[in-house]
Amino acid sequence: MTYSVKVIVPAMMKAEIDDYAMTAIYAISLFNDLLADITIESREILRKAKEETIKDLHTYFCKKGLSDVELTLAVSRVLLLLPTLEQYVKRIRENYHLMDVFHMIDLPNFYKHISIN
């Protein structure tokens, strides 16, 4: 929790993440085309969906009346948050796994089957 308060929240505030940008972050994360165990066709579908999401984000910032430089910075700030957020999610999953291994809390069955990779 401390990490999120000290690192994640300030980064999101600095990037001025609103609901639309957060939805774009969720979509880009969901449409991960770099997974090893998917077909080429699936990879292409995910890549196109991710590109469309980024185009939509670009259009959203365009409609806000930003200059070209501000527009580029706004989209870049959103995209640069992705690795930080992915690391944070991995850390949370690992923590839940450790809590389960050492019986620190009783996790519902659903959480026990989530991969930590």
Structure tokens at 24: 């774009």
Measured between alpha carbons, how far is 16 from 12 in angstroms, rounded to an integer?
6
Is 88 part of a structural domain of the chain?
Answer: no
Q: Is the pTM of this model over 0.85?
A: no
Distance spanning both ends of the chain, measured CA to CA:
21
Contact 96, 88 (CB under 8 A): no
Q: Judge whether 94 lies within some domain.
A: no
Domains of the chain: total: 1
pLDDT above 80 (res 29): yes
> What is the tens place of the pLDDT at every residue in 53-95?
999 999 999 999 999 999 999 999 999 999 999 999 888 888 8
Question: Which residue from 84, 18, 27 is spatially nearest to 55, judged by alpha carbons?
Answer: 27
Weakest mean pLDDT among 24-33, 81-90, 91-100, 102-111: 102-111
Q: How far apart (Å, rounded) are the C-alpha atoms in residues 115 and 65?
A: 42
Residue range(s) defining the domain that contains residue 61? 2-80
Domain presence at residue 58:
yes
Does residue 99 form part of some domain? no
